[in-house]
Amino acid sequence: MRIVRVNHQNDVFYGILEGETVARLRGTPYAELIKDGRVYPLSDVRLLAPVEPTKIVCVGKNYKAHADEMHEGQPEEPLLFLKPNTCVVGNGDGIVYPSLSKRVDYEAELGVVIGKMAHGVRPGHAKEYIFGYTCLNDVTARDLQKSDGQWTRGKSFDTFCPIGPWVETELDAGNVRIRSVLNGEVRQNSTTARMTHDIDKLICYMSACMTLLPGDVVATGTPEGIGPMQRGDVIAVEIEGIGTLKNTIV
């Protein structure tokens, strides 16, 4: 099932994507999916970021080949950082190239959407807290990340976390292909099976120190092949079983 968040004539709501129509839901989708009876042609609505997280919890260097290309080594435990919710934009929205940076990179990632409050999750039980999966681009001002010595500023500019185009609730995410495509050229091409720390471990590790709330997103790391973007470029994140998230650099 594909869950969307849309704008129809300045009215924003969640819905279920059913072919070329959107069935409107009552409220948020996390507790219960209740249709309110209204259905809209997909052509009449604008897709927004499908979630409204309080935070995006990210993990760095979670693919060995990416850690190797960065020449910084790979930590034994998940390396966590946060992106603020002001980073979030949706499919088709612009990624703003900040004047403070001289290198802005794409990072294709699988996003895991939390469906219910999660704290102290026990190993083997993370699936109970997962609502679904989406495409995510962990956009990074690489020069600022390196010069600062920590990652907050380089990862946190407005528009630096495109998410979408929807949340897929039915996916076996353990081994799906993930790609980034820059101006039609494949730049990253890997599978989620190559993660060092799997989704269950990530959610358990994160929830041991912070409470994950419905709508929060876990960004699971990026494979090798990251690189810079320029104004006017079109970057796509493609994940098997979900779809394609596409944005233009402005």
Query: Could you give the residue range(s) of every CATH 3.90.850.10 domain in the chain?
Result: 56-249
Q: Model's pTM, two decimal places?
A: 0.96
CATH architecture of residue range(s) 56-249 = Alpha-Beta Complex (3.90)
Res 64: pLDDT: 81
* Higher per-residue pLDDT: 70 or 195: 195
Report the C-alpha gap between 245 and 35 in whole angstroms: 26
Q: What is the average pLDDT value for the chain, to the nearest integer? A: 96
The CATH fold of domain 2-47: SH3 type barrels. (2.30.30)
Using DSSP, state whether 66 is helix, strand or coil. helix
Give the pLDDT confidence of 153-200 residue by residue, as tens digits.
Answer: 999 999 999 999 999 999 999 999 999 999 999 999 999 999 999 999
Sheet with 234-239: list strands edge to edge. Answer: 94-95, 243-249, 234-239, 177-182, 185-191
Structure tokens at 77: 């435990």
Query: Could you give the residue range(s) of every CATH 2.30.30.370 domain in the chain?
Result: 2-47
Which value, in Å, is the radius of gyration of the alpha carbons in the chain? 17
